[in-house]
Structure 1
């Protein structure tokens, strides 16, 4: 009988240790990978949205839109934000080539009214600075479009 009790205690200890290891390592094994599949930003509209709800499943947001006459071949635009030290920093995801003098970006509701931001135009990605807009704050309400003009440097 003692042999059975010892064997049973050994099994219970092994199960306890295995359970504890599973609890410690389990959450780390179930996390998502560092890269997610690409997806369209909400502002581009839903292609083929034929479910009859008129696109009401879109998240709440607004837009900022650049308007300029400086759209040269290879022209590039980037939205920048001003940090507390007064330095201008590029906004990740809000940069790209100019298309016929304008560029439009979607603004999430959590960012409404924040600023200051500015639009910078460069000669290609990382190229020389051509011009910047006046500082602005992002739209404060849903479904607004803030038009920002950028002209030549005086």
Structure 2
């Protein structure tokens, strides 16, 4: 039986997806960028020339290292939600017909590359006596991305 967190995760995903534009940018991200850009406009000299994404990243790093935000409740669920939205935004431009047309040539190459990767990671990991769980997480991070 699924617990309440997964139900809440699905509901939040359903509520956030309408905020995603087909252009690949979320409304919230656009509003944050415009607001921050408006606040940074009057800064003198070099500070006004720094892109808003760097200011947002700096702010996120500062807040992330403060005691108040060290271990927030629901951070895992929010991270999963953000990854789902990321995958939706990436995949929203995909056309199934193009994926099928290109996939026939890419699939054998992918099988070879991922197979060699698996042999290398698990072979070297076994020789160095790493546990399979750690090797699997490392492999997924290398092949699957975020």
Structure with greater proportional strand content: 1
Q: Is TM (by shorter chain) over 0.5?
A: no
User: When the two structures are superposed, what TM-score results if normalisation uses the length of structure 2?
Assistant: 0.18
User: When the two structures are superposed, what TM-score results if normalisation uses the length of structure 1?
Assistant: 0.17
Structure with greater proportional helix content: 2
Query: Max radius of gyration: which structure?
Result: 1
